[in-house]
Structure 1
């Protein structure tokens, strides 16, 4: 199901292996997505295969490559930035909030039984509203979408022990670091670069990041560069030298050593898998 309001688009699809293989998701590749997955479903996210231990939500940017590996049905909500992500939205629940710009982890929200039922109820309300044709449909869909994002942001904060009012400055700091890495990883490769942008010392940056991630800031920066390298190798025809240059490595031999050290495969060997 797809609703269009001028340039604004919002839709809902069943997320199954069969639909994927039939090309059912090709038309929404550039959309922002929220994916509800039932327990025991298996999905591949950016080359990493994950089995759901509980019912879960996944928040997906257009750049992220997803693939269902099991036929357990999920629900995919998808929308473009014209529908949601306008500047007046609260920063934390907009599309540049912590759920959509999270370099610390794949942004899964694990749901307990009550939370899952709550989210599924909202999805059913969305599906009911998709069948309506009146002046309030667009705004109702936007309200229901925002409700899912708000509830999920609250769950994420509780799960990461960042729900107290006194910790909001820490949440905003983490969000800012995440956003800066996403914006600058192609050109800036060191912890000192990001510490300067955040006006803190590299040591203080590492301490703050340690609150939500087992990885160091250096690990996070490297992993983001490696992920982009994999995407370009798997989904473009760019040469290894062109990819290295696009990621600010003038010496492609150094880039090859960097990629091989962090993946266990040379760029050419990785590309052959796809």
Structure 2
């Protein structure tokens, strides 16, 4: 998009919404950052040498990169000329349409590996064109616009999923599609059940394995251990609730399935390095927390 063209385009119909936002100025970036929490799905197309804060982790791009976010706090700390697609699950739900794009548990709902996809020059050109085409469709407001935007969105997701697997997964997994599906399935289960299932054994039993076999399988595939993925998801939700709600530590512990708040407090402190109350205090004071 050219600098003098419209930088924000939006479609809304009943519960469906889709927004195309081009962040071209510092003022636009500040406005984007002012949103404390994004409840819609977001795909952020970021150029080289940008710095971002997503949830509680910092990233710096060395290549044009796509970031895939759902229910996350996103801040663009350095750089402009980024484009953000924000859409409701009623517009396009990846869980319902999983067979179409096969990204659930990889680009989204993946507590073990954050979904950032770097783009080669060729892929950058293709993705840039797809983002531009979405902007043109929203501007035209043709009767078929909604479905065309959905088709273009799916192309972005499918291409990014293929690239992400090539960049993030071990070669032995790519050679065996069943292993990729197994990994996706595990991540999906974690996202659904992390508030009540806290042990590897809980997930292993559903997958028809013992806890030891599941851990050995992840080790053989050079993946982050399942126990770490489970705990990472629990702690991420704890951080979100601490920083974006007025719930007490005890209420958060109960929400995450811990009947003993003291145990939850010890778990959080041991993994994060600060107690829940100190973490919240630092966040409210504007200090960097991870």
Query: TM-score, normalised on structure 1?
Result: 0.90
> Which residue is equivalent to 2:243?
234
Q: Does 1:126 find its partner at 2:134?
A: yes
Match of residue 73 from structure 1: 81
Aligned to 1:102: 110
Instruction: Provide the residue aligned with 1:116 in structure 2.
Output: 124
Change (3 A) 1:86 1:45: closer
Matched positions, count: 273
Q: CA RMSD in A?
A: 2.5
CA–CA separation in structure 2 for the residues paired with 1:148 and 1:211:
31
User: Which residue matches 1:147?
Assistant: 155
1:245 maps to 2:262: no
Q: How does 1:122-201 map to 2 (within 5 A)?
A: 122-159=130-167, 160-161=169-170, 167-201=176-210
Three-state SS of the structure 1 residue aligned to 2:140 is coil
Equivalent residue runs for 1:20-31 within 5 Å: 20-22=29-31, 26=35, 29-31=38-40
1:256 aligns with 2:268: no
Cα distance, 1:118 vs. partner? Answer: 1.2
For 1:267, the equivalent position in structure 2 comes to 276
Hey, what's the Cα distance between the residues in 2 that align with 1:258 and 1:183? Answer: 21
The answer to whether the 8 Å contact 2:33/2:74 transfers is: no
Distance of 1:25 and 1:11 partners within structure 2: 17
Deviation at 1:252, TM superposition (A): 1.4
TM-score, structure 2 normalization: 0.85
The superposition leaves residues 43-80 of structure 1 with CA deviations (integer Å, 9 ceiling, x where unpaired) of 0011111111211101111x211111113331101111
Find the residue that maps to 1:150 and give its secondary structure. Answer: helix
Q: Secondary structure at the match of 2:45?
A: strand
Aligned-pair distance for 1:264? 0.8
User: What is the alpha-carbon distance in structure 2 between the residues aligned to residue 201 and residue 70 of structure 1?
Assistant: 46
CA separation of 1:50 and 1:213: change in aligned 2, threshold 3 A: farther
Per-residue deviation at 1:87? 7.0
Residue 95 of structure 2 contacts residue 104 of structure 2 at CA under 8 Å; is this kept in 1? Answer: no
Alignment deviations for residues 76-102 of structure 1 (CA, whole Å, 9 cap, x no partner)? 011112211277634362673521121
Deviation at 1:133, TM superposition (A): 2.2
Q: CA deviation at 1:171?
A: 1.4
Following the alignment from structure 2 to structure 1, what is the Cα–Cα distance between the partners of residues 94 and 232? 30
C-alpha deviation, 1:247, in angstroms: 1.3
